[in-house]
Amino acid sequence: MLLMRKTGCNCRQATAMIERQQAGSLTILQRLRLRRHLSRCPPCRFFKRQTRLLGCLVRDRRYPAAAIRPDNSFIMNLLETLKKNI
């Protein structure tokens, strides 16, 4: 029973583990906890698929970083808003 309690996790912990998993830094116990959580949580499974897809898009050469850079008008509006609110 103690092992079952230790292998569970909530959605907040699962999303953090999904992000760490992309970097390859999960322990065996964390992988077990995540697998168990994902087996019964459709929203977290969806988050994992989306995270994996975004990681692939960022690494894909067809979508260089310059292609996802905001345009200058957005940057200028953001800077003006920040100046007004600081």
User: How confident is the model at residue 43, as a pLDDT?
Assistant: 93
- The predicted-structure confidence for 20-45, as pLDDT tens digits, reads as follows 998 888 999 999 999 999 999 999 99
- Report d(CA 37, CA 69) in Å as an integer: 35
Residue 62 phi/psi, 5° resolution?
A: -70, -15
User: How confident is the model at residue 48, as a pLDDT?
Assistant: 93
20-25 long-range contacts (CB < 8 A, ≥24 apart) are 22/51, 22/52, 22/55
pTM above 0.75, yes or no: no
Give residue 62's pLDDT band: very low, low, confident or very high (50, 70, 90). Answer: low
